[in-house]
Amino acid sequence: MNPTDKPIASPLVVLREEFDDWAVLFNPDTADAVGTNPVGVAVWKLMDGKTRLADIVSKVKNSFEDVPDSVPQEIEAFVNSLSENGFVGLELPGK
């Protein structure tokens, strides 16, 4: 996924916040579930198909304290992983 891509969270996937802002993303069609921390939850909520990945990273950096330098790569890896598992798609060009 590129920094200019605009990822969109699958509306089918359930965000289930469990303890202390940690959460589970659950795909009821496949029964796949992914655990995620509060940063992952914030990323998930920003993936609306209108916001560029680079902007999602910026917003997350501004929302959390003591964000490590590696956070852009970590967020990109997280989104890529969700994309590979069918949890996230991309808004088609021209739409």
Partner 1 sequence: MEKPVPAASKVMRVPRSLLLEITARCNLRCRYCYFFNNPAMVYRDLPAEEWLKFFNELGSLGVMKLTLAGGEPFFREDLPALIEGIVRNRMRFSMLSNGGLINDEIAAFMAGTGRCDYVQVSVDGSCAEVHDSCRGKGSFDGAIRGIRTLQRHGIFVAVRLTIHRNNVQDLENTARFLLEDLGLQDFGTNAAGYMGACCANAEDVLLNTEERQEAMAILLRLAAKYPGRILADAGPLADGRMWRRMEEARAQGKPAFYNGGRLTGCGCTSNKLAVRADGVLVPCNMLAHIELGRINQDSLVEVWQNSPALNQIRNRPAISLSDFEFCAGCPYTPYCTGNCPGLAYTLTGQVDHPSPDACFRQFLKEGGTLP
Residues lying near partner 1 in the complex (CB under 8 A) are found at 12, 14-19, 24, 26, 28-29, 31, 33
Amino acid at 76: E
Nearest to partner 1 of 32, 48 (CB atom): 32
Backbone region of residue 31 per phi and psi (left: phi > 0; alpha: psi in -120 to 50; beta: other values): left
CB 38 within 8 A of CB 22: yes
31 vs 92, beta carbon nearer partner 1: 31
CA atoms of 77 and 65, how far apart (whole Å): 21
Shortest Å distance, C-beta 79 to partner 1 = 21
**Closer of 19 and 93 to partner 1 (Cβ):** 19
